[in-house]
């Protein structure tokens, strides 16, 4: 589901509604002060729905409260299309 690699938090499981609560809980538990990136390289276009955006924004909000600068890398095109459709793509801190 999640892997920690240095300052990167890699999401390795689909980011779909059915697993959103579990993914958010795992992400919050893994969010340490030295985490700087969330890597979505393992997520395919069919592996992310609108709940993925909710999880990402919740993690970004948690990081901001802790004065952490968190970036998203390797966002799949499908997720970015959803973000654009909802008008939130400019709010995602992409690296």
pTM of the model: 0.95
CATH class of the domain whose range is 2-91: alpha beta
Q: Would the pLDDT of 35 be above 90?
A: yes
Q: What is the pLDDT of residues 51-68, one digit of tens each?
A: 999 999 999 999 999 999
Strand-pairing partners, residue 10, are 3, 39
pLDDT digits (tens, 9 = 90+) for 11-21: 999 999 999 99
Mean pLDDT of the chain: 95
Residues 6 or more apart whose Cβ sits within 8 Å of residue 55: 15, 20, 23, 24, 27
Give me the pLDDT at residue 78, please: 95
| Structural domain spans, the chain | 2-91
């Amino acid at each position: 589901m999640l892997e920690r690699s240095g300052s990167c938090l890699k999401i390795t499981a689909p980011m779909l509604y059915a697993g959103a609560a579990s993914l958010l809980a795992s992400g919050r538990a893994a969010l340490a002060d030295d985490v700087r990136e969330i890597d979505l390289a393992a997520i395919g276009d069919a592996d992310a729905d609108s709940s993925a955006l909710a999880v990402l924004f919740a993690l970004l909000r948690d990081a901001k409260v802790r004065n952490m600068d968190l970036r998203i890398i390797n966002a799949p095109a499908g997720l970015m299309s959803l973000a654009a459709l909802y008008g939130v793509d400019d709010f995602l801190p992409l690296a």
